[in-house]
Amino acid sequence: MLTRNGFFGDLWDDFMDTPRNNSLLKSDVYEDNDNYVIEVDIPGYNKEDVSIDYENGYIIVTSVRTSNVTDDKYIRKEKYYGEYKRSFYVGEVDENDISATFYNGVLKIIFPKSSVKQEHKRRIEIE
């Protein structure tokens, strides 16, 4: 069995690096003094093409692009039309504290550190 780093190396990486897998919704997650920030690159999309949901501790970013072009005379077509989805586990957050902006193809999601409820972990003794 061949691994990603085996005989085919870069060929495998090129094959697996399809638009659906890796080339869109690249993200940075960082914190500043009072907030956590998620920045997602979504070039070529409009704000109306992007939605953000919060569900069960996850922020879910979805972007959808449809093609209006009916011309079949393409020599090469690399743009992907369809739905991209990316989720980020953020824990229990007051969803009213989550805000977002979209400017120049960058989606910025911000929520305060204080709104993140700390998860408590307790070891249970075995009798």
Has residue 9 been placed in a domain? Answer: no
Residue 120 lies in a domain: no
- The residue segments making up the domain with residue 38 are 25-115
Question: Does residue 84 lie in a domain region?
Answer: yes
Coil, strand or helix at 96: helix
Please list the pLDDT of the chain residue by residue as tens digits (127 residues): 444 454 444 444 444 444 444 456 899 999 998 899 999 999 888 899 999 999 988 999 999 888 777 667 777 777 777 888 999 998 888 888 999 999 999 999 999 887 666 666 665 666 6
Asked whether residue 5 is assigned to any structural domain, the reply reads no
pTM for the whole structure: 0.69
Q: How many structural domains are present in the chain?
A: 1
Residue 84: its H or E element:
strand 82-89
Question: What CATH number did the domain enclosing 97 receive?
Answer: 2.60.40.790
15 in a domain, yes or no? no
Cα–Cα distance list, 111 to 24, 36, 79, 119 (Å): 23, 6, 32, 17
